[in-house]
Structure 1
Amino acid sequence: MSRILPLIFQNLTFLFGIGFLAPLVAQVLERTVPSIATTPWPLVIGLVVGGGWGAIAQKTGRWV
């Protein structure tokens, strides 16, 4: 437990991108284009956008 907690805190921005931004992007896509709501593509796109944005924020230290 003492080794896992620092890892979580070091990668918190990436985890935020995956855990919060990815589902948010997927829900926005499902609401705007209802025909793709039954496919897995909104979640895949959300993971790419949220994970990418989180990884960039992790690397640069800034969200914007």
Structure 2
Amino acid sequence: MATALRTLFRFGPLIFAFGFLAPLIAQIIQAFEVTPPFGLGPLAVGLVLAGLLGLAAQVRGRWV
């Protein structure tokens, strides 16, 4: 159990990015009626942007 929690917390920034930031970015895109590039949907753009932010936080070890 401790190993599972340790693994879960190790990927915390990515889980936060995909679970919270991606839908938030998608809703912001829809609220401002921005057309995503390349025919992508708002959620796809949110997943890409949140994934990049989460990956940067994962590698650097901090969000800021």
Q: Same fold (TM over 0.5)?
A: yes
Q: After superposition, where does 1:29-40 map in structure 2 within 5 Å? A: 29-33=29-33
Letter in 2 for 1:22: A
CA distance in 1, matches of 2:11, 2:33: 32
Per the normalisation by structure 1, the TM-score is 0.81
Name the % identity. Answer: 40
Give unpaired runs (5+ residues) of structure 1: none
Stretch deviating more after TM superposition (2-11 or 24-33): 2-11
Distance 1:49 1:2, change over 3 A: same
Tell me the C-alpha RMSD between the 2 structures. Answer: 2.1
TM-score, normalised by the number of residues in structure 2: 0.81
Give 1:28 shift. Answer: 0.2
CA distance in 2, matches of 1:3, 1:63: 24
Task: Work out the number of aligned pairs and report it.
Answer: 62
| Residue 13 of structure 1: aligned partner | 13
Query: Where has structure 1 moved over 2 Å in runs of 4 or more?
Result: 1-4
Q: Which residue of 2 aligns with 1:45?
A: 45
Residue type of the alignment partner of 1:15 = I
